[in-house]
Amino acid sequence: MTATLIDGKSFAAGLRQRIAEHTAAMKERGITPGLAVVLVGEDPASQVYVRSKGKQTRETGMNSFEHRLPADTPEAELLALVGQLNEDPAVNGILVQLPLPGHMDEAAVINAIRPEKDVDGFHILNVGRLATGQKAMVPCTPLGSLMLLRDQLGSLSGKNALVIGRSNIVGKPMAQLLLRDSATVTIAHSRTCDLPDLCRTADIVIAAVGRAHFVKGDWIKPGATVIDVGINRTDDGLVGDVDFAAASQVAGAITPVPGGVGPMTIACLLANTLTATARANGLPDPEGLTP
Ligand code: NAD
């Protein structure tokens, strides 16, 4: 392996430590940040995520409020809970775990969250604010990826960045963040032609496809920085969207899976909760946590 390993696990641990320090300072002022997580149904992966979100929230000294609703909960009941959390001054951040059961309108539920408490950054107002360069709540996985990129490269200005995947959760907000940092951004998706050639021109590759080992080693420009967002369960365990063994021979720096972007996501959720708390109390944004 010639590439530098981008250690998201250790970066996230440092970030959580800084968040815990900010939280302790807020508590001295009588303010305890609070994150409410709502889980509808029994999706096994969602249950694991919600459990570790709650655990890490408590570990940083914040209040964690968990709401579990049965899968057949009527949408109106979920909306009523969201309305209640919107009004609760102890709750600074609200996260409704996706995916929601099929009978619910995800967009309607997300857009019912007060934008200032939308720590996932999926509310239409936050999407618009990010796209227009206003202060927004930024989706956690792209935010974590940006932090790793800035830490690795310093300035992203003028770099050719290729985002593979155009989801609302990862690809699109990632592209917006890279644009904000003055990278030249290309978004590739399932209908893109000549992806390998496109990839060979990229100084930065963000893979968010959801297909194991999709990005091959010979697609990578020598020295490029590769951020692998993919999480794919295979017979060999968890693997990313990038063929790590081959790509790490060519790239300048690369995130592993697991231990790369994954741990950054929950750390950024806590960072967003802290930012939301600061804004709700008229305090400046905690340093280094907002792009
Ligand atoms: P998604 O299924 O919503 O989007 C996948 C994207 O890949 C689509 O935009 C599609 O156009 C694109 N795509 C599919 N086939 C393609 C092809 N042949 N060529 C180019 N593009 C293609 O997925 P998502 O929610 O954006 O997640 C992507 C991956 O990231 C998944 O593996 C998911 O598990 C992972 N993920 C990880 C984290 C984390 O915390 N690390 C968070 C969210 C998602």
User: Domain containing 74 — which CATH number?
Assistant: 3.40.50.10860
Position 252 scores a pLDDT of 98
Position 39 scores a pLDDT of 98
Alpha carbon of 252 to ligand 1 centroid (Å): 23
Among protein residues, the one with the nearest Cα to ligand 1's atom 31 is 210
146 shares a domain with 103? no
User: Annotated binding residue at 167?
Assistant: yes
> Across residues 132-160, what is the average pLDDT?
97
Q: What residues are annotated to the active site?
A: 53, 97, 120
- Extended beta strands in 60-191, E state: 63-69, 93-96, 160-164, 184-188
166 lines ligand 1 (CB under 6 A): yes
99 shares a domain with 162? no
Cα 15 from Cα 34, distance rounded (Å):
18
173 shares a domain with 249? yes
> Across residues 239-256, what is the average pLDDT?
98
If DSSP codes are grouped into helix, strand and coil, which group holds residue 4?
A: strand
Position 277 scores a pLDDT of 98
User: Annotated binding residue at 166?
Assistant: yes
186 lines ligand 1 (CB under 6 A): no
> Across residues 121-148, what is the average pLDDT?
97
> Which H or E run contains 104?
none
Query: For 30-43, what is each residue's pLDDT tens digit?
Result: 999 999 999 999 99
> Across residues 181-195, what is the average pLDDT?
98
Q: Does residue 47 belong to any structural domain of this protein?
A: yes
Among protein residues, the one with the nearest Cα to ligand 1's atom 30 is 230
Domain count, the chain: 2
**Hey, what amino acid is at 168?**
N
User: Domain containing 196 — which CATH number?
Assistant: 3.40.50.720
156 shares a domain with 103? no
Taking the CA of residue 166 as reference, the ligand 1 atom at the shortest distance is 9
With bands split at pLDDT 50, 70 and 90, how would you rate the model's confidence at 291?
confident
Averaged pLDDT of the chain:
97
Alpha carbon of 230 to ligand 1 centroid (Å): 7
> Across residues 33-58, what is the average pLDDT?
96
Cα 185 from Cα 227, distance rounded (Å):
14
Q: Does residue 95 belong to any structural domain of this protein?
A: yes
Give yes or no for residue 22 having a pLDDT over 90: yes
- Domain hosting 220: range is 140-262
Name the nearest CA neighbour of 185 among 210, 167, 204, 168.
204
Give yes or no for residue 63 having a pLDDT over 70: yes
Query: For 253-290, what is each residue's pLDDT tens digit?
Result: 999 999 999 999 999 999 999 999 999 999 999 988 88
192 shares a domain with 107? no
229 lines ligand 1 (CB under 6 A): yes
Q: Does residue 98 belong to any structural domain of this protein?
A: yes
Query: For 73-105, what is each residue's pLDDT tens digit?
Result: 999 999 999 999 999 999 999 999 999 999 999
156 shares a domain with 64? no
Taking the CA of residue 189 as reference, the ligand 1 atom at the shortest distance is 21
User: Annotated binding residue at 165?
Assistant: yes
Q: Phi, psi (5° rounding) for residue 65? A: -120, 120
145 shares a domain with 104? no
242 lines ligand 1 (CB under 6 A): no
Position 55 scores a pLDDT of 97
Q: Is the pTM of this model over 0.95?
A: yes
Alpha carbon of 105 to ligand 1 centroid (Å): 21
Give yes or no for residue 141 having a pLDDT over 80: yes
Bridge partners of residue 275, in order along the sequence: none
User: Annotated binding residue at 231?
Assistant: yes
**DSSP structural state of residue 50:** H
Q: Does residue 15 belong to any structural domain of this protein?
A: no
Position 139 scores a pLDDT of 98
Position 289 scores a pLDDT of 84
C-alpha 52, offset from chain centre = 15
183 shares a domain with 252? yes
Q: Which of 122, 164, 168, 189 to mutate to test the pocket of ligand 1 (most atoms within 8 A of CB)?
A: 189
Position 288 scores a pLDDT of 82
Q: List, in order, residues 6 or more apart from 239 with CB less than 8 Å away.
A: 212, 213, 230, 232, 257
Among protein residues, the one with the nearest Cα to ligand 1's atom 17 is 190
By percentage, how much of the chain surpasses pLDDT 70? 100
106 shares a domain with 35? yes
Query: For 193-204, what is each residue's pLDDT tens digit?
Result: 999 999 999 999
Q: Does residue 288 belong to any structural domain of this protein?
A: no
With bands split at pLDDT 50, 70 and 90, how would you rate the model's confidence at 1?
low
93 shares a domain with 191? no
258 lines ligand 1 (CB under 6 A): no
